[in-house]
Structure 1
C-alpha cells in the first residue's frame, strides 16, 4: 500500500474520532479480557477480538458481548489469529466495513510462554530440547501480528508481553517489531511498566509497545506512574538481563519511568482483600467447599473499613456489585492447612518445610512408642505432614502474602501446582480464592469467570491487569483525541 493511501485511511479514521465516536479496537490473543477491560474503561469501543482458548472466550463473551444469544455465541467462538481471515472476522462481528476501515486500534497480548524464562525452562523439561523456546510456534506469532497490522491499518497499535521478550536467546524482539512497524509507516516505542506503580496491588513488570500512524505527527507516550513503592531487591538484576540487548543509542526503547516518592503508596494486599468473604469451610468439612462452583456467591465481610481500592473494585463503571460476590473457591490439600496457619507473613517454602518438620516431630513425640525412621508408621506420619518438594530447588513454590505490600506476580499456574499466594490471614489457612486473585489482578468484582477453578486461575494469571491496561489505554486515548482535535483545527484554519 502506498503511503498516500495509508495516510488517507488514517485521516478518515481520525475524522470519525473527531466527530465524537469512540475509537474501535480489535484485540488479538485477548484472553479473558484484562486489557479489554482497561480499554473499555478508557473510552474505547471493543469491536472484535480473537482468542483461541475456549474458556477464556466464554469469559470474554460473558462480560463484553452485546445482548442476544447469537451475539454471545459469536463473541465466545475460539479463533486462531494465524488462520483467521480478517474479512471473515469483520463479517462475523457484524461490522459494516472492510478490515482496513473497521478498526482504529489493534491490540494484542501475545502469548508469553516462549519468551518468559520460567516458560522456557518448562519447555526444555517437557521436550528435552535446550532451544525448544526458539522453536515454539508461539514465539513467531508477532510476525503474523505484523501482517494483520498491514491488513487492518489501525491508527494505533498496543502490544503487551513479558520483559524477557527483549532478550529472546540474545534477540531483542520488540526492537525488531518497532523497526518493522516503522517500515509500515508507524512510529513505535516500547518500555517496561510495573503494575504496582499504577494502582494494582501486585508487582507485575510487563513490556508495552505503543505505535502510532506516522501521519499523525506524534510520538507514543507512556503513562506517568500514579503510585510509589521501592522495588524489592533483585529487580535491578532481572531488569538488567532483560535489557541486555537494548542499544544505548538508536533504539526505540523509552527509559523506564521512575515514580515520585511523593505519590500515594502502592496498594497493599490488605487494601485489596480485607473485605472479601472469610473462607474457612475447608477447616470443618472439605466436601462443602469442594461442591462450591466459581459462579456461586458469598456475602462480603461486614464491619470492615473499605479501602479506596476495594470501593473501586465494587463500583467499577458498568461492573458494580451489591452485597455478594462470586469466585470463592480455593485449592484444597488438607495436609497443608496447619502449615499455612503457622507460617509467618512473607514466609517461603523453606520456612514452610521447617514448620512441617517441626509438626512431624510433635506428632512423633505424641506416639505411645516413637516409631523409627524406616517404619511404616513413621513414613505414614511424614507423608501426612510434610510436603514432598525439595526446599533447595523450590524456594518460591510457597509464599505467604505480606498484607502491607503489593503481592508478587500472579501466574497462570496459580491453581495447578503452586502455593505461591497463601492468604495472609492465618485463621483461614488456605491459598487465595479465585476472587482474591482477580482482586490482586484488578478485575472488578462484577467481572465473572467461565469454567472451573483452575481455568479461572489460568485466565487471571494470563491477563493484563485492567488498571494497568487502563493507564496505558487512557494515555493512548488522550493522544488520539489530541490528534483529532488538531485535524479539526487545521481544517478550520484552511477553510
Structure 2
C-alpha cells in the first residue's frame, strides 16, 4: 500500500476517500500512516474512524462498533473491549492532535519521519501528502466579515499553507494534494494574490525540489494552466452539493515524465432528494422551550399554513395523520430502498439498522414559520426564495429589511429537492438559516446526518463531540466521495508505485469510475435488500400514527 500523510486533516474527508480505494476488493491501495489535526473533537473522530478502518481491513465490522454509534454502548464499554483497546493504541500512535506551525515543527517532523521510516521499504518508494490548510482567511464570507479588521492581513491562517509547503520541501512526497476554498484565487495579502504566492513558494522549496502542478479537471501542461483550471465543482462529480474548491496536485519532477496525467470524469448529478429524502421525517424543536410537545408544535405549523394560504400558495400536505418527533441520536425506524442508487451504495450500511445523528435542533417560533413558509414558496417558485418573498408579518425586525438596499436577501435559504445543495460550510454549526429542509411540513433545518450525506460521508461515519461540534466538522470537511475520485487518479499517476500491481490490471472498481461495475459498493458493503421494516413506535422511533 502507498503511505499517506494527512495534514490539517479535519474529521478525515480526504483521508476517507484515499483509504477507500480498493477496499471493496480487499486490496486497499493507500494507507494513512500519520494524520495531524488541532481540533480536539475532529481528532477524536479521526481516531474512531481509524479504528473502524482497521476493523474493516481485518474482516467484518463487529456489532460492538454499531452498538457504540447507536448509543447502546458507552465509550468506556466500547474502548475497554480488548480488540478495540489494542486498535486504539495503534491508531493513537498515528493520529496526532497538534496545531501545525513554527512552534511544533520539530515534533511534527519527528512524527512524519518515524511514520515514513516504518512504512517505506526503500527511501525511493512512493508516498503521498494530502491536506487542506485552514481556509477561513481565504473564504469570501470570512473576508467580508473582517473588512474593517486592521489585523486581518496579519492573521497567521493566511500563511499556514507555508507550513504545508515546508513539509513538502522537507520530505519530498511523490505527489501532494492540497485543497482550499475557491476564494483563495481572489484573496490578497499586502497587495499580492495569495494563490500566486503559493505557486511562487512552490518554486523555492528546500534543496531546489521541483513539482509539476496539475489540474484535476483540465488536461493541459502545467505552464499553460489558469488559476480557474484548479477549481473542482463537486456537483459535476456526483456530489449532492455545489461545493467549489481549489485542488492543487503536485507531481515530483523526477516522476513527472513517467506519471500519466489523469483528470476527473464527470458524473451524473445527485440531488438533495437523492441524498436525504429517504431519512425518517422529523420535526424541529422550539426555543426557548416552553412547551415542546407535538400539540404546541402543530399549532405553530398551523399558523405557518395559514400564512401560506393567505399568500395564495397551494398547500401540498402528504399525510395529516403523521405525528413527528424531533428525532434522536439514533432512530430505528428506517426503511432501506429496494433498489439503491449508486450514491446510496456509497452511503448506506444496513448493519447500522437505523440512522445516527438525525436529531433536529431548536429554533425560535418565528423562524419555524419562516422555514415552513419559504419551503412552500420554494416548491411554488422552483427557486430559492429571498427575504422579499416573505409576507410582512414574517419579515425579520431589522431596520434595513424591506428597503431597496436590504442586504443579505438570501439570509434564509431553502435547499431545493431537485438540485444539488448549496455549499455546506462550518457556519451550519451556528444556525440553520442557510440550510432549511425542503419539506415544509417538517419546518426545520438540516440535521447532522443530512449535512453529512450532502457531504457524501457514509452513514457509518460517526462524528464525535456535541452536535454543534459535529456540524462544524462536517462543514469543514472535503467530501469523501470526491476525495475517492481524486485518490483514484493519484493512484493512476503513480502506477501504484514501482513493484506494485500495475494500474491497468486492477480489479474493476478499484481505480477508474467510482460508479462502474456491479461489485463496487463503496466504503460499506451493502447487504441484500430490503433491510427492514416496519416503523417502530418506541422512544427511538421518528413517527407514530396520530390518534
* TM-score over 0.5 (shorter chain): yes
Structure 1: any 5+ residue segments left out of the alignment? 1-21, 228-263, 360-384, 489-495
Say which structure is richer in helix.
1
Equivalent position to 1:38, from 4, 14, 17: 17
Provide closer, same or farther for how the CA distance between residues 107 and 100 of structure 1 changes in structure 2, counting only shifts above 3 A.
farther
Tell me by how many angstroms 1:192 deviates: 1.0
Larger deviation, residues 340-349 vs 451-460: 340-349
Q: TM-score, normalised to structure 1's length?
A: 0.71
| Alpha-carbon contact 2:177-2:247 (below 8 Å) kept | yes
Equivalent position to 1:193, from 222, 228, 232: 232
Give matches, 1:117-128, under 5 Å.
Answer: 117-124=140-147, 128=149
Equivalent position to 1:296, from 322, 330, 339: 330
Tell me by how many angstroms 1:418 deviates: 4.5
Q: 1:347-370: CA deviations, max 9, x gaps?
A: 344146x23x345xxxxxxxxxxx
Larger deviation, residues 281-290 vs 458-467: 281-290
Give matches, 1:197-212, under 5 Å.
Answer: 197-212=236-251
| Alpha-carbon contact 2:327-2:360 (below 8 Å) kept | no
Q: Distance in 1 between matches of 2:470 and 2:122?
A: 34
Q: 1:26-70: CA deviations, max 9, x gaps?
A: 010000000111111123111111111111101111112454332
Give matches, 1:416-435, under 5 Å.
Answer: 416-435=430-449
Provide closer, same or farther for how the CA distance between residues 24 and 417 of structure 1 changes in structure 2, counting only shifts above 3 A.
same
Larger deviation, residues 279-288 vs 172-181: 279-288
1:111 aligns with 2:114: no
Q: Distance in 2 between matches of 1:98 and 1:158?
A: 19
Residue 472 of structure 2: aligned partner: 458
Residue 7 of structure 1: aligned partner: none
Provide closer, same or farther for how the CA distance between residues 198 and 178 of structure 1 changes in structure 2, counting only shifts above 3 A.
farther
Give matches, 1:389-404, under 5 Å.
Answer: 390-391=400-401, 392-404=406-418
Q: 1:70-89: CA deviations, max 9, x gaps?
A: 23544554112211424531
RMSD of the TM alignment (CA)? 3.3
| Alpha-carbon contact 2:3-2:120 (below 8 Å) kept | no
SS in 2 for 1:422: coil
Give matches, 1:71-220, under 5 Å.
Answer: 71-74=90-93, 77-82=96-101, 83-84=104-105, 85-90=107-112, 96=118, 101=123, 104-124=127-147, 128-129=149-150, 132-169=151-188, 170-171=192-193, 172-180=196-204, 183-190=208-215, 191-216=230-255, 217-218=257-258
Give matches, 1:350-365, under 5 Å.
Answer: 350-351=387-388, 354-355=390-391, 357-358=392-393
Residue 368 of structure 2: aligned partner: 337
Provide closer, same or farther for how the CA distance between residues 203 and 421 of structure 1 changes in structure 2, counting only shifts above 3 A.
same
Give matches, 1:316-335, under 5 Å.
Answer: 321-333=351-363, 334-335=365-366
Q: 1:281-331: CA deviations, max 9, x gaps?
A: 6379648999976x434432467874432232004xxxx644211111233
Q: Distance in 2 between matches of 1:91 and 1:180?
A: 22
Q: Distance in 2 between matches of 1:413 and 1:58?
A: 21
Equivalent position to 1:223, from 263, 267, 291: 263
1:63 aligns with 2:49: yes
Larger deviation, residues 86-95 vs 104-113: 86-95
SS in 2 for 1:201: coil
Q: Distance in 1 between matches of 2:280 and 2:326?
A: 17
Q: Distance in 2 between matches of 1:299 and 1:93?
A: 43
Provide closer, same or farther for how the CA distance between residues 195 and 321 of structure 1 changes in structure 2, counting only shifts above 3 A.
farther
Q: TM-score, normalised to structure 2's length?
A: 0.65
Provide closer, same or farther for how the CA distance between residues 278 and 409 of structure 1 changes in structure 2, counting only shifts above 3 A.
same
SS in 1 for 2:487: helix
| Alpha-carbon contact 1:300-1:324 (below 8 Å) kept | yes
Q: Distance in 2 between matches of 1:399 and 1:71?
A: 44
Tell me by how many angstroms 1:153 deviates: 1.9
Residue 273 of structure 1: aligned partner: 276
Provide closer, same or farther for how the CA distance between residues 438 and 140 of structure 1 changes in structure 2, counting only shifts above 3 A.
same
SS in 2 for 1:468: helix
Q: 1:265-289: CA deviations, max 9, x gaps?
A: x101000111112112637964899
Structure 2: any 5+ residue segments left out of the alignment? 22-28, 55-83, 216-229, 295-323, 503-547
Q: Distance in 2 between matches of 1:477 and 1:387?
A: 55
Provide closer, same or farther for how the CA distance between residues 174 and 87 of structure 1 changes in structure 2, counting only shifts above 3 A.
closer
Provide closer, same or farther for how the CA distance between residues 328 and 389 of structure 1 changes in structure 2, counting only shifts above 3 A.
farther
